[in-house]
Amino acid sequence: METTIALAGNPNSGKTTLFNLLTGAHQHVGNYPGVTVEKKQGMCVFKDQKFHIVDLPGTYSLSPYSLEETVARDFLVIEKPSMIINIIDASNLERNLFLTLQFLEMGFPMCIALNMMDVAKGRGILVDTQKLSTFLNVPVIPMVARSGAGKELLMQSAAKLSEKLSNTKPLKISYGADIDQALSKMQEMIERNGFLTDDLPSRWLALKYLEGDDQVKKLGRRHNPDLSAVLEEISHDLSNHLERSMDTTAEAIIGEYRYGFIRSLIAQGVVQTDSARKPFYFSDRLDRVLTHRIFGPVFLAAALLGLYHFTFTFSQAPVEWLEKAFEYIRQVADAGLSEGPLKSLLISGIIDGAGGVFSFVPLIMLMFLGIAILEDSGYLARVAFMLDRIFRFFGLHGNSVVAYIISGGIAGGCAVPGIMATRTLKSPKERLATMLTLPFMNCGAKLPVFAVLIAAFFANYKTTVMVLVTIAAWLVALFAARLFRSTILPGEAAPFVMELPPYHLPTPKGLIIHMWERTWQYLKKAGPVILAISVILWAMMSYPQLPAATQQAFEMQKQQTISGFAPDIIHELSMGGETGNFSAAALNLQEQLNLIDSREAGEALKHSVAGKIGTAFEKLSVYAGFDWRVNIALVGGVAAKEVIISTMGTAYSLGNADMEEDGRLSTRLRSAQGFDSLTAISLIVFIMFYSPCFISVVCICRESGSWKWGAFSMIFNTAAAFILAVTVYQLGLFF
């Protein structure tokens, strides 16, 4: 009879290498039925006995959280191979054994190929294979698959095992009083009814019910609906009990006890670390400090503040240079072109739009460089590790932290690369919940708006306001995630082993690649799209123009004003900049003329398409304190947050006759009617949380695989932002 062996193990444990070693040229590659996961099969002949070997997809666990895990498990449950060769990376024993335990609980006949012995030795990790074999009650064969060492011994023990396949007893791990009690009760029922026991061990089935494994439940319902209902009821009662008494889940406890089992295996002498020669000694020592209960968070706060400081200090100069460069281009265009729509388009549409985007590129680049340093050095993985517990509470995963930071969790990122970064999250629901809450972070495009509003109304509390804004972003994001996870995206957190790669110095090349990739994602988004949007907005804010009669009326007003002044004063003003010093009377005239220009520009804006849209929204937005001009900027901001500032600049520059020092937006806002510090707070709140920009929405649609999530985030976020802004504004009015 031919013996089928499933080759199973974690990714990167050397499965493919071992498979090639065993099967040589006799391989066949296809797909698992119905899915695009590669299925490699081959023959191995050992001492005239034929073995059919199937390479399972590499997985860390057997709970069906991913396609690979489902495929691997279905193969084991449905195809029932005669035995498993479980390949383990000896240099990562703790993590690899997590999967091993699950095979053992299923009671499969098994050999362990303890691979990468050379790597382990190099790191000063000594594994006592004899002890491991005794503890687990399976043969353990040390190997170096790459060189072929251990192949003979492995096949010998596989051949021996194939002679007495039936007598393996499933491993029994204790999961603590509560769970063990429920398990034995369920086990007894399962055995009495012969419920699926031909194929699977009773304790394993009971465990799966407790873990809430949908696939097993489905199988059970088909087999014996009544018993399945009883088992589900017991599981349900237990999880209620655990929830109430310990605020945890059966699944979490099961995961913890499995790790406890592994830790105790290792602590009982399976692994000895030869500390004198251990190159990773440094990493371990460092981790003892950096992930320490108290020093860890302190260091984390320091690292984040450092990153913050680094980015803002070093980006200030280049941002100013770029702003000056754009200002210079603006002046050249202003002086060189004759008045008319083309000039207006070039200056207000293109130059201002492009300037708004590119001036902030240095800030974004430096922020991404800083994040790349944290990431490449291995520290970001520790951050995820430390915050995992907190994130679990909100229904997210430690790795969500990374996506949040990239999106602007510290200040000044971009949700587009952030959404890409959620690909590291295994559970689709955790991933979606992270993706949907990322846009609440303060991305690089929102910062300049806050900067202007803070400069206008809270100049003395700059840092305090920024810190509050950052904290508020995190709180809203986390609680929204929790809300999503308990309503539209329900399900337990996926137990997932967090890898802690050794620390190492980042290489300049790696840093530059990482920084550039994300900056490019931002630029690709910002560049052409924002330019196009600026032009469209410019057109919407410029047309239709005021009727000729109205324009003439303003012109008349100006003439009248001028005629009230003495001719020498008019002359002085028209000679303008030559002397630079005006008399008080000339200044007075200038001011009066500017006022008329302002009124005309204001009328013109209100008359334009954008003005009409802004006015239409005013009925609602007054509750949050926004007038039609703010509304125009906010509508523009849905296209891209970058345009909020330039649009407000235009809307409030009622009379862009002169862009003097005093013409700065903060000053203009402070003197604008109906715009006070309360409006500023309400506006900051609204901008923080309302609809993600257009490109982020497109990304969410693409990455979630459905346009519905994109639409959801636009509607939900805008509604939430509106409620928050109205609450803040009305409370402010009240007090």
Residue ranges in contact with ligand GDP by CB under 6 A = 9, 11-17, 58, 115-116, 118-119, 144-146
Residue whose CB is nearest to Mg ion in the complex, by number: 16
Q: Give which of ligand GDP, Mg ion, none residue 63 binds (C-beta under 5 to 8 Å, depending on kind).
A: none
If contact means CB under 5 to 8 A according to the sort of partner, which of Mg ion, ligand GDP, none does residue 264 touch? none
Cα separations in angstroms, 265 against 89, 269, 363, 496, 607: 16, 7, 49, 20, 77
What is the token pair recorded at 662?
């005093």
Single out the residue of 98, 77, 91 nearest to residue 201, CA to CA: 77
Contact criterion met (CB below 8 Å) for 689 and 476:
yes
Question: Residue 128's binding partner, choosing from ligand GDP, Mg ion, none, with beta-carbon cut-off 5 to 8 A by kind?
Answer: none
131 binds, among ligand GDP, Mg ion, none (CB under 5 to 8 A by kind): none
Q: Which is nearer to ligand GDP, 117 or 680 (CB)?
A: 117
217's contact among Mg ion, ligand GDP, none, with CB below 5 to 8 A by partner kind, is none
DSSP strand E in 359-445: where?
Answer: none
Rounded to an integer, what distance in angstroms lies between the CA atom of residue 518 and that of residue 524? 10
11 vs 705 by CB, closer to ligand GDP: 11
Q: Which is nearer to ligand GDP, 12 or 583 (CB)?
A: 12
Nearer to Mg ion, 13 or 400 (CB): 13
Least Cβ distance, residue 144 to ligand GDP (angstroms): 4
CB-based contact 46:155 (threshold 8 Å): yes
* Token digits of residue 491: 């399900």
| Site residues for Mg ion per CB under 5 A | 16
Write the DSSP assignment of 295-349 as a string of letters.
HHHHHHHHHHHHHHHHHHHHHHHHHHHHHHHHHHHHHHHHHHS-SSHHHHIIIII
CB of 92 to ligand GDP, least distance (A): 12
- 228's contact among Mg ion, ligand GDP, none, with CB below 5 to 8 A by partner kind, is none
| Closest distance to Mg ion from the beta carbon of 58 (Å) | 6
Instruction: Please choose which of Mg ion, ligand GDP, none residue 168 contacts, taking the beta carbon within 5 to 8 angstroms, the exact cut-off set by kind.
Output: none
Name which of 54 and 250 has its Cβ closer to ligand GDP.
Answer: 54
CB of 29 to Mg ion, least distance (A): 12
Closer by beta carbon to Mg ion, 70 or else 470: 70
Of the pair 56, 419, the CB lying nearest Mg ion is at 56
Backbone angles phi, psi at 7, to 5 degrees: -95, 115
Closest CA to 77 of 255, 226, 196: 196
| Nearest residue (CB) to ligand GDP, 81 versus 636 | 81
Question: Is the peptide bond prior to 544 cis by the omega test (within 30 degrees of 0)?
Answer: yes
- State which residue, 16 or 41, has the beta carbon closest to ligand GDP: 16
Count other Cβ atoms within 10 Å, centred on residue 181.
Answer: 12
Whole-number minimum distance, CB 117 to ligand GDP, in Å? 7
Which residues neighbour 168 within 8 Å (Cβ) at sequence distance 6 or greater? 107, 108, 109, 110
Residue pair 397/391 in contact by the 8 Å Cβ criterion = yes
Rounded least distance, CB 120 to ligand GDP, Å: 9
- Separation between Cα atoms, residue 340 and residue 344, nearest integer Å: 6
Residue 490 has φ and ψ, to the nearest 5°, of -75, 165
In this structure, which amino acid lies at residue 502?
A: P
Closest distance of CB 146 from ligand GDP, Å: 4
Torsion sign over Cα 482, 483, 486, 490: negative
Sequential DSSP letters for 116-148: -HHHHHHTTEEE-HHHHHHHHTS-EEE-BTTTT
Nearer to Mg ion, 62 or 254 (CB): 62
Least distance to Mg ion from the beta carbon of 13, Å? Answer: 9
Question: Between residues 88 and 669, which has the closer beta carbon with respect to ligand GDP?
Answer: 88
> Quick one: what does residue 682 bind among Mg ion, ligand GDP, none, with the CB cut-off 5 to 8 Å set by partner type?
none
Q: Which does 118 bind (CB under 5 to 8 A by kind): Mg ion, ligand GDP, none?
A: ligand GDP
Choice between 15 and 485, CB closer to ligand GDP: 15
Minimum Å gap between C-beta 261 and ligand GDP is 24
Report in angstroms how near the CB of residue 501 gets to ligand GDP at its nearest.
Answer: 15
Interacting partner of 14 out of Mg ion, ligand GDP, none (Cβ under 5 to 8 A depending on kind): ligand GDP
Stated as kind and residue range, the H or E segment containing 7 is strand 3-9
Cα angle for residues 496, 497, 499 (degrees, 5° grid): 135
11 binds, among Mg ion, ligand GDP, none (CB under 5 to 8 A by kind): ligand GDP
Taking the least distance from each CB to ligand GDP, the nearer of 86 and 713 is: 86
Please state the closest distance from residue 5 (CB atom) to ligand GDP, in A.
16
Residue 540 binding: pick among ligand GDP, Mg ion, none (C-beta 5-8 Å cut-off by kind): none
For 544, the 3-state DSSP assignment is: coil
Q: Which partner, Mg ion, ligand GDP, none, binds residue 367 by CB below 5 to 8 Å per kind?
A: none
Tokens at residue 652, please?
Answer: 């409030």
The two tokens of residue 192 are 């009495």
Indicate the residue among 58 and 413 with the shorter CB distance to ligand GDP: 58
Q: Which amino acid is located at 167 in the chain? A: N
DSSP state, 149?
B
CB closer to ligand GDP, 118 vs 128 = 118
d(CA 150, CA 139): 13
What tokens appear for 422 in the block?
A: 């959620």
CA atoms of 449 and 458, how far apart (whole Å): 13
User: Measured from the CB of residue 54, what is the shortest distance to ligand GDP in angstroms?
Assistant: 13
Min separation Cβ 10 and ligand GDP, Å: 7
The distance of closest approach from Cβ of residue 268 to ligand GDP in the complex, given in angstroms and rounded to an integer, is 25
Q: Residue 3: how many CB atoms within 10 A of its CB?
A: 21
> What does the buried/exposed string (b/e) look like for 142-174 if buried means 16 or more CB atoms within 10 Å of the residue's CB?
bbbbeeeebbeebbebbeebbeeeeebebbebe
Residue 429's binding partner, choosing from Mg ion, ligand GDP, none, with beta-carbon cut-off 5 to 8 A by kind? none
Residue 636 binding result from ligand GDP, Mg ion, none, given CB thresholds of 5 to 8 Å by partner type: none
Q: How many CB atoms lie within 10 A of CB 719?
A: 13
Q: How many CA atoms lie within 13 A of 664 on its CB side?
A: 9
Shortest gap between Cβ of 40 and ligand GDP (angstroms)? 10
